[in-house]
Amino acid sequence: MTFLRRLLTRGGDTGRSHEHVRVPGDGTAPGWDAITDAATRIYGPEEPLHWGTIRRWRQGGPDPLDGLSAHRADGPPPHWHYVGYGLSELWEKESDDPALSGWGIELTFRLLRPADEEGPPSWPLTLLQDLARYVYRSHNVLRPGDHTSFDGPIAEGDTALTAFLFAEDPELGTIETPNGAVTFVQLVGVHDDEYRLASEWDTRRVLDILARRDPRLVTDLARPSILTEPAVVAEVAAGRETEGSSMGGLNDATFTWRTAGSALEVLLDPAMRDRLVAMLDGRIRHGRPLWIQGPDRSLEIHPGADGVEVVDAQLRLHVSDTTARSLAAALRSPERIVEVAELPQVRWIVGE
């Protein structure tokens, strides 16, 4: 599982770089036609509202998706189903992998549709383009089981949803196209506590709980958190105790470590400290390693006899279960500089 943080831009002029168009259907874009055919099997011949980019990414334009459709889905519940075109190979085959079309994915999003809403909101266009731009620039493919958090609400207006989990679209699934396979990866809006649960436990298990309420995983900007339900809280506590965490690592744009004389200093912001504490409990205690990847340097923590190793830009720590507990307890303290006796070479600095 991967975690994406502070790597996405929000807002911008994406909506103004689109225009309403008719989609290809003359055989010149077999990948595009395959996506349209998959949607047609669900929604029939009625054409969705479609936006095409005015200037494509390959022509130097700002938006990597060549097009976006919004289907009026009856549900239940009634919603808008947005489908992206552009992370797979829409036109001719260019990549070397015959099994996958382009990045092997397309992004989708389902948004609850109020009874009085005649047209789909445009803000999801910006959202999907931003995520696609992240894939193109970072070469990190978004897959079912991944998750990302924003620094605020996922949409303008009154919503407490601040993050997304990624699931395989429950209806579009995975298709075969003339250019290779494409998996439709659906964004699912969640609360901050649900996001933390996914990152500390298991994204797919959280999605399973959400799917019991809505198999299509439609994002409802007004829904309460599942963690307000006592039965869910009890289920989660039991699952975390027996299963630990499935998330092996974190990608973070702010993380680094450095040498300071004979010491090694690991720099954490408060949010990363909290997630590391949760992972020490969910990974090391269950015999699993964890990692944090920054722009230039990384940290690995493995279960085992206590020890420290530096390999190029990678800091490797080996910790016993007792040391992992001591480190987690120390990091929970309000102190800005943390040390544990079992790893005297390493100093942890929070919020520098």
Q: What domains sit in the chain, N to C, each tagged with a CATH number?
A: 3-237 (no CATH), 249-350 (3.30.1360.230)
pLDDT above 90 (res 285) = no
Cα–Cα distance list, 229 to 82, 237, 239 (Å): 30, 13, 16
310: phi then psi, degrees, rounded to nearest 5: -115, 125
pLDDT above 50 (res 4) = no
pLDDT of residue 23: 54
201: Cβ contacts below 8 Å, ≥ 6 apart:
236, 239, 240, 243, 245, 246, 282
Average pLDDT of the chain is 89
Which long-range CB contacts under 8 A does 82-86 form with residues at least 24 apart?
Answer: 82/108, 82/109, 82/110, 82/111, 82/120, 82/124, 82/125, 82/128, 83/35, 83/39, 83/48, 83/108, 83/172, 83/184, 84/108, 84/128, 84/132, 85/23, 85/32, 85/35, 86/57, 86/132
Q: Is the dihedral of CA 107, 274, 328, 347 positive or negative?
A: positive
pLDDT of residue 343: 95
Percentage of the chain surpassing pLDDT 70? Answer: 92
The residue among 269, 182, 296, 282 whose CA lies nearest residue 241 is 282
pLDDT of residue 336: 93
Instruction: List, in sequence order, the alpha helices (H) in the chain.
Output: 30-43, 123-138, 192-200, 203-213, 230-243, 270-282, 321-331
pLDDT of residue 8: 37
186: phi then psi, degrees, rounded to nearest 5: -100, 135
Q: What is the mean pLDDT of residues 142-165?
A: 91
Q: What is the pLDDT of residues 287-331, one digit of tens each?
A: 999 999 999 999 999 999 999 999 999 999 999 999 999 999 999
The residue that leads in pLDDT, 234 or 156, is 234
The residue that leads in pLDDT, 19 or 169, is 169
Q: What is the pLDDT of residues 6-28, one digit of tens each?
A: 333 333 333 334 444 445 556 68
Q: What is the pLDDT of residues 235-275, one digit of tens each?
A: 999 998 888 888 788 888 889 999 999 999 999 999 889 88
The residue that leads in pLDDT, 72 or 118, is 72
pLDDT of residue 14: 37
Q: What is the mean pLDDT of residues 91-109?
A: 95
pLDDT of residue 278: 85
pLDDT of residue 99: 96
pLDDT of residue 246: 83
Reported as a pLDDT band with limits 50, 70 and 90, residue 57 is confident
pLDDT of residue 60: 75
The residue among 71, 107, 115, 114 whose CA lies nearest residue 188 is 107
Tell me the C-alpha distance between 105 and 53, whole Å: 19
Q: What is the pLDDT of residues 60-95, one digit of tens each?
A: 778 899 999 999 999 899 999 999 999 999 999 999
Q: Which two tokens stand for residue 225?
A: 């958190």
Q: What is the pLDDT of residues 180-209, one digit of tens each?
A: 999 999 999 999 999 989 988 899 999 999
pLDDT of residue 26: 60
The residue among 344, 339, 244, 254 whose CA lies nearest residue 299 is 254
